[in-house]
Amino acid sequence: MTLSTRQIGIFGGSFNPIHCGHIALARHLLTALGLDEIWFVVSPLNPFKTHATDLLADDVRYAITARALASQPGLSASDVEMTLPRPSYMWNTLCHLSELHPHARFTLLIGADNWLAFDRWAHSQDIITHYRIAVYPRPGYEVDAAAMPPSVTYVHSDLYPVSSTEIRRRIAAGESIEGMVPQDIQAMVEHYYR
């Protein structure tokens, strides 16, 4: 590993919308894993959610995510998956990023829910072989950290009681989302999810 090697976490998701829980988790993972930065890769469409009807347009979700992270050192939004063939598979994304940034070392950041279904991911074994994976807790999902392969790390973290689904529900019901999303994107989120 050279001195110029950047340690970059890849946090993929729909971010429909991004919320304070995503950001707090990323800040924790940045420190806990010794990463230089975390890229929030905004996914056009999760291959396991092919019938999502409440997904905002890609460019809008990316713009909201980028704005939410603009004042967060070490955290940034990426639209790389929007330029790749669909559906977006993480293996393709990681390979593409590795080609673009050959001196970076990428760590895939996933929740326990995704880890428990990881064997269903395209090229899951290739990802395990070629990349580090950090698994963080998700409510209602228990994982056996001792049984994880050497390239996979379980990172203890607080559970954040915020979800994108709840934010969308609250907006539809005319309820407040104050404190659930960063203040500088609240009006934007309320506008687009109405």
Q: Within a domain: residue 177?
A: no
Q: What is the largest CA-CA distance in the chain?
A: 52
Mean pLDDT of the chain: 94
Q: Within a domain: residue 172?
A: no
Asked if 39 contacts 74 with a C-beta cutoff of 8 angstroms, the reply is no
User: Which domain covers residue 67, as residue numbers?
Assistant: 6-161
Q: What is the mean pLDDT of residues 178-185?
A: 97
Q: Within a domain: residue 23?
A: yes
Cβ-proximal residues to 53 (8 Å cutoff; 6+ apart), any chain = none
- Predicted confidence (pLDDT) at residue 135 exceeds the cutoff of 80: yes
As a three-state string, the secondary structure of 146-181 is HHCCCCEEECCCCCCCCCHHHHHHHHHCCCCCECCE
Q: Within a domain: residue 46?
A: yes
Give strand pairing partners of 42: 13
Band of the pLDDT at 88, cuts 50, 70, 90? confident
Nearest to 22 by CA among 162, 116, 174, 145: 162
Distance CA 50, CA 45 (A): 7
Strands laid side by side in the 75-78 sheet: 75-78, 37-42, 6-13, 104-111, 132-136, 152-154
CATH number of the domain at 111, please. 3.40.50.620
- Residue 85 is given by DSSP the state -
Identify the pLDDT of residue 54. Answer: 83
Distance CA 185, CA 17 (A): 10
Q: Within a domain: residue 41?
A: yes
What tens digit of pLDDT does each residue of 41-85 get?
A: 999 976 666 556 689 999 999 999 999 999 999 999 999 999 999
What tens digit of pLDDT does each residue of 113-126 get?
A: 999 999 999 999 99
Token pair of 79 as six digits: 């639209």
Q: Within a domain: residue 191?
A: no
Identify the pLDDT of residue 1. Answer: 47
Give the global pTM.
0.94
Q: What percent of the chain has pLDDT over 90?
A: 91
Number of neighbours of residue 176 by Cβ within 10 angstroms? 10
What tens digit of pLDDT does each residue of 7-46 get?
A: 999 999 999 999 999 999 999 999 999 999 999 999 997 6
Q: Within a domain: residue 171?
A: no
* Number of domains composing the chain: 1
Angle (CA) 97 103 105, round 5°: 65
Q: Within a domain: residue 178?
A: no
